[in-house]
A and B are shown apart, each in its own frame.
Chain A
Amino acid sequence: MSEETTSSEDDITAIETPVYLTYNFTAGEATTRFLHQVRKGKVMGQRCPGCGNVYAPARGSCAACGLPTSEEVELGNKATVQSFTIVWIPIPNNPIQPPYIVANLVPDGANISFIHLMSECDNDSVHIGQRVEAVWKPEEEWDYAMDNIRYFRPLDEPDVPIEMIGKVPLSGWEGKA
């Protein structure tokens, strides 16, 4: 039995226990369909047969109705800012430097927003209802990933009023409902 029963500074009080687990993640059916289209430079939505809302990217169900979203809907390259934040933390391996904009964007033809980056913009003048368009990577760099769209940049179009955000059709926004 060791004699020293009083604790000393050398006593172990914590240990590092790193755990690394390897997984083979699968995208699922709906996300796979979506990513195959993104690979071709198209953003597709999926429509709920119950409430009619269009989701992009869809995970296969309408969260509101609990129904499968099987109908594919083509969406526009333009979108509307639903909300945004200015981020001061760099993104690893991304050339966009802080401060940059992360925004909730609703693509034309969809009803539910997704999150993406904004750039080529004056951060101080970004606002809800602002019209933006996708800036894609060169086609030869396209992969099964949302970052085929580098970011969205502002468009010179009239703002969408708050009550109309999420209701802009694929044909776009001309300043009136």
Chain B
Amino acid sequence: MKDIAIVSFAQSDCRRDAGACNEVELIMPVIEQAMQAVGLNNSQDVDFTCSGSCDYQQGAAFAFVMGVDALGAVPPIKESHVEMDAAWALYESMLKISMGQAESALIYGFGKSSPGELPTVLSQQLDPYYLAPLWVDSVSLAALQARVLLDRGLLSEQDMAAVVARSRANAKANNPHAQLAGDVSVEELLAESPWVAPLRKHDCCPISDGASAMVICTIEKARAWGKPYAVIRGIDHRMESHNIGARDLTRSVSTELAAAQAGVDRGPVEVAELYAPFSHQEIILSQALGLDDSTEINPSGGVLAGNLMMASGLSRIGEVATRIMSGDVRRGVAHATSGPCLQHNLVAVLEAA
């Protein structure tokens, strides 16, 4: 795929309950911010618009269609939607640009998880014969995965708590949009009682409402616009079996494959933003991506500091892009996930122009 530029990114605060906002009201401010950063007015000024969201989250059928009211889509625009995280809307937009059908695209994701009981809602994305009728929730499946790792000595509860402590500290230092931030020690975290043992509540990402948006374009267009930009040098996504029992839960094979294809190891990884909804999954992902101490992992705090379901993946890419555009780093990796126990993973390599 040819190089594509990220020219702007905007995200809302992660809030436990954005009750006062409907979909449109969540989306409009981040779209306006992302568009204005490059001097654009509304979706009429880009060639393609693509969004990611899931109607089950707020229990409102075709909520994503309501979201289009935020775009200024009259006269009708070229527009698409994925019932997935908006990281995959970015992927679709990149294909559109690569095929020569667009030079620029607006991408946004939004999630309003507060109206429902998210872990229960997510139980219904599972196998409809074998698992959904049991109502196995998403936290429980992650806990089964964590136990496998703990039993085999591949990580410890201390390792997991250390991930959480770093997330909170990074969020406090770097992320004004975070829902959970602050100074907390591994000892304090381990003193908390289990929630869905072996997971403690802090091992699990919070439930958040919000949205994020991004503008991408061809390198030529980015130069013409004359704004700083980050280059998406490689991107790939892979999916594993829906049968959790048939997977090696101690690894993320799909992330390993996507990382190889995206070219993660073709240069130093200064920063990585990983979509790890549970603390142990950040360790699995770091290993799958071949990261070591030379990489700063989740400087934003990652999704343990706030998880906008259906926007968090796009936000991981936006977090890395923002650091490159500001000149803080020259090369970074962003990751997005979907499905139970890291079933489906997307890896993007971003570099300075």
Do A and B assemble together?
Answer: yes
Q: Please give the residue numbers on chain A whose beta carbons come within 8 Å of chain B beta carbons, in ascending order.
A: 15, 17, 19, 21-32, 59-68
Q: Which of A15, A22, A28, A63 contacts B21 (CB 8 A)?
A: A28
Contact, CB under 8 Å: A25 / B58 = yes
Binary flags per residue of B99-127, CB closer than 8 Å to A gives 1, else 0? 00000000000000011110011001000
Closest residue on chain B to residue A23 by CB atoms: B59
Is B246 in the interface zone, CB < 8 Å from A?
no
Is B42 in the interface zone, CB < 8 Å from A?
yes
A62 to B24, CA, bound (A): 10
Q: Which of B56, B58, B69 contacts A61 (CB 8 A)?
A: B69
Q: Please give the residue numbers on chain B whose beta carbons come within 8 Å of chain A beta carbons, in ascending order.
A: 19-25, 28, 31, 42-43, 56, 58-60, 66, 68-74, 114-117, 120-121, 124, 128-129, 132-133
Q: Which of B23, B56, B74 contacts A63 (CB 8 A)?
A: B74
Contact, CB under 8 Å: B31 / A66 = yes
What are the residues of chain B within 8 A of A23 when measuring CB–CB?
58-59, 115-116
| Residue in A17, A23, A30, A67 whose Cβ sees the most chain B Cβ within 10 Å | A23
Contact, CB under 8 Å: B132 / A19 = yes
Count A-B pairs with CB separation below 8 Å: 87
What are the residues of chain B within 8 A of A24 when measuring CB–CB?
114-116
What are the residues of chain A within 8 A of B129 when measuring CB–CB?
15, 17
**Given A21-B120, A25-B58 in contact, is the A63-B68 Cβ separation under 8 Å?**
yes
**Given A21-B59, A23-B59, A59-B22 in contact, is the A65-B72 Cβ separation under 8 Å?**
yes
Contact, CB under 8 Å: A25 / B117 = no
Query: What are some 23 contacts across the A-B interface (CB < 8 A)?
Result: A17-B132, A21-B56, A23-B58, A25-B58, A25-B59, A26-B115, A28-B24, A30-B24, A30-B25, A59-B24, A59-B66, A59-B69, A60-B22, A60-B24, A60-B25, A60-B69, A61-B28, A61-B69, A62-B72, A64-B74, A66-B28, A66-B72, A68-B25
Contact, CB under 8 Å: B43 / A22 = no
Contact, CB under 8 Å: A22 / B69 = no
**Given A19-B124, A66-B43 in contact, is the A27-B71 Cβ separation under 8 Å?**
no
A174 to B138, CA, bound (A): 62
A65 to B120, CA, bound (A): 37
Contact, CB under 8 Å: B22 / A27 = yes
A26 to B59, CA, bound (A): 11
Closest residue on chain A to residue B58 by CB atoms: A23
A15 to B130, CA, bound (A): 12
A166 to B60, CA, bound (A): 29
Closest residue on chain A to residue B68 by CB atoms: A63
What are the residues of chain A within 8 A of B115 when measuring CB–CB?
23-26
What are the residues of chain B within 8 A of A59 when measuring CB–CB?
22, 24, 66, 69
Q: How far is the CB of A122 from chain B (nearest CB, A)?
A: 35
